[in-house]
């Protein structure tokens, strides 16, 4: 029997906010048990995946204009209005993806604190950090921020009331789609008065996407592909996910693009029948076709396995919705198409 199991978003949300141990209690399937027994690094990859799938199928955003006036209002991902003329000099972020978006929006110099799970870029890792699982409100208040940047898909919207009761402004950035990420960079620029920097980042991202797709769109025989978050468990991404954009930019024909669930758990039988030309994953370094066969012995006849087209991608570039998703697309293209090995990302 070929099975594709949907992962309820509510269960993923609860799992994320109750840590990896709470997740193991929530999800009692064999797959969840194996995830719970992974190494710390693998659990970090899973948490990044949970963050990513929470961003699928949420409220869409309209493309923002980079040149809005200082007197205008902008709306965050929860539908709350904020003035763009207020000065915010001391900001903190409470999700890694929000940090990367803030930096792309020109706000790095305003950061005074980050979460204890932030890992990029290295220049900000000496900033004061605080727990977000659970949220350490006392440590956040002690930093005296005048604005908190959150992710609507990672940070619990119910925490708005707590932040407001403490006299703290919190703006929820939208990472539900690539369009949401792109618009969130503009929102940061509008909030902080750094619109030129945000506009430059957005232009560079679009320029890179256009450059890559101009090349990959001309490839006639594109390989079929499946993305997996680990070598052991077959969680993937369905329709509406920004990951589908990444795969398309890279010149892949995603076999899960039409799935109506954001985080399908693919059965071994389904992968075998789908017979992808390429398998891409946020695998550990050194993962190969033989590694996958150790966990999925029935896959020995799959094209990707026979032709050794199994590729590992840096997890945070693809599992964390943000500017580095474009970098992930370039990496996939270089791996899948040897003739593109000299393809270079144009950094702003």
pLDDT of residue 263: 86
* Same domain membership, residue 50 and residue 77: no
CATH number of 92's domain: 3.40.50.1980
Among 194, 228, 254, which residue terminates a domain? Answer: 194
DSSP labels, 196-254: HHHHHHHHHHHHHHHHHHHHHTT-SSPPEEEEES-SSS-B---TT-HHHHHHHHTT-EE
C-alpha span between 100 and 78 (Å, rounded): 20
Summarize pLDDT for 288-331 with one digit per residue, the tens. Answer: 999 999 999 999 999 999 999 999 999 999 988 899 999 999 99
C-alpha span between 325 and 185 (Å, rounded): 14
Instruction: Give the number of domains in the chain.
Output: 2
The pLDDT profile of the chain, 348 residues, written as one tens digit per residue, is 455 555 544 334 333 333 332 333 333 233 333 333 344 455 555 555 555 555 444 444 444 554 444 458 999 999 999 988 889 999 999 999 999 999 999 999 999 999 999 999 999 999 999 999 999 999 999 999 999 999 877 899 999 999 999 999 999 998 878 999 999 999 999 999 999 999 999 999 999 999 999 999 999 999 999 999 999 999 999 988 889 999 999 999 999 999 988 889 999 999 999 999 999 999 998 999 999 999 999 999 999 999 999 999 999 999 888 999 999 999 999 999 999 988 888 876
Q: Determine what percent of the chain is predicted with pLDDT higher than 70.
A: 79
Structural domain contains residue 287: yes
Q: Determine what percent of the chain is predicted with pLDDT higher than 90.
A: 68
Summarize pLDDT for 80-125 with one digit per residue, the tens. Answer: 999 888 899 999 999 999 999 999 999 999 999 999 999 999 999 9
Q: Other C-beta atoms within 10 Å of 303: how many?
A: 15
55 contacts 180 by C-beta, under 8 angstroms:
yes
pTM of the model: 0.80
C-alpha span between 308 and 133 (Å, rounded): 39
Hey, is 8 helix, strand or coil? coil
Residue 294 bridge partners (DSSP): none
Pairing of strands 147-151, 129-130: unpaired
Structural domain contains residue 199: no
* Same domain membership, residue 225 and residue 179: no
Stretch (H or E) spanning 270: helix 268-274
Which of these, 336, 127, 158, lies nearest to 246 by C-alpha position? Answer: 336
pLDDT of residue 323: 95
Residue-number span of the structural domain to which 171 is assigned? 73-194
* Same domain membership, residue 53 and residue 77: no
Treating both helix axes as pointing N-terminal to C-terminal, what angle do 325-336 and 195-216 enclose, rounded to 10 degrees? Answer: 20
* Same domain membership, residue 273 and residue 315: yes
* Same domain membership, residue 273 and residue 244: yes
* Same domain membership, residue 285 and residue 241: yes
Which of these, 157, 182, 184, lies nearest to 170 by C-alpha position? Answer: 157
C-alpha span between 50 and 153 (Å, rounded): 10
DSSP labels, 96-158: HHHHHHHHHTT-GGGEEEEETT----GGGTTS-EE-BTTB-HHHHHHH--SEEEEETTTS-TT
């Amino acid at each position: 029997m070929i099975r594709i199991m949907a992962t309820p978003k509510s269960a993923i949300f609860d799992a994320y906010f109750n840590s990896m141990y709470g997740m193991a209690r929530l999800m009692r399937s064999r797959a969840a048990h194996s995830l719970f027994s992974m190494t710390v690094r693998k659990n970090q990859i899973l948490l990044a995946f949970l963050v990513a799938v929470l961003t699928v199928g949420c409220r869409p955003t309209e493309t923002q204009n980079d040149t809005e006036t200082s007197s205008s209002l902008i709306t965050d991902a929860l539908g709350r209005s904020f003035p763009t003329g207020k000065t915010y000099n001391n900001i903190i972020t409470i999700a890694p993806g929000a940090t990367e978006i803030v930096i792309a929006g020109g706000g790095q110099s305003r950061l005074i604190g980050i979460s204890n799970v932030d890992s990029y870029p290295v220049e900000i890792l000496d900033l004061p950090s605080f727990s977000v699982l659970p949220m350490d409100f006392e440590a956040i208040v002690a930093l005296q921020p005048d604005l908190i940047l959150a992710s609507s898909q990672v940070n619990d919207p119910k925490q708005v009331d707590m932040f407001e009761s403490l006299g703290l402004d919190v703006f929820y950035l939208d990472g539900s789609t690539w369009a949401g990420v792109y618009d969130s960079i503009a929102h940061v620029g509008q909030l902080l008065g750094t619109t030129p920097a945000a506009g430059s980042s957005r232009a560079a991202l679009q320029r890179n996407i256009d450059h890559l797709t101009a090349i990959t769109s001309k490839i006639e025989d594109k390989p079929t592909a499946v993305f997996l978050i680990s070598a052991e468990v077959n969680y993937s991404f369905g329709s509406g996910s920004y990951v589908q954009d990444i795969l398309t930019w890279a010149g892949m024909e995603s076999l899960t693009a039409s799935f109506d669930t954001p985080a399908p758990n693919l059965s071994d039988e389904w992968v075998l029948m789908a017979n992808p030309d390429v398998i891409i994953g946020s695998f550990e370094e050194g993962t190969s076709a033989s590694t996958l066969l150790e966990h999925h012995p029935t896959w020995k006849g799959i094209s990707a396995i026979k032709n050794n087209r199994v590729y590992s991608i840096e997890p945070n570039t693809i599992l964390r919705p943000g500017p580095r998703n474009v970098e992930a697309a370039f990496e996939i293209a270089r791996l899948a198409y040897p003739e593109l090995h000299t393809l270079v990302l144009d950094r702003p």
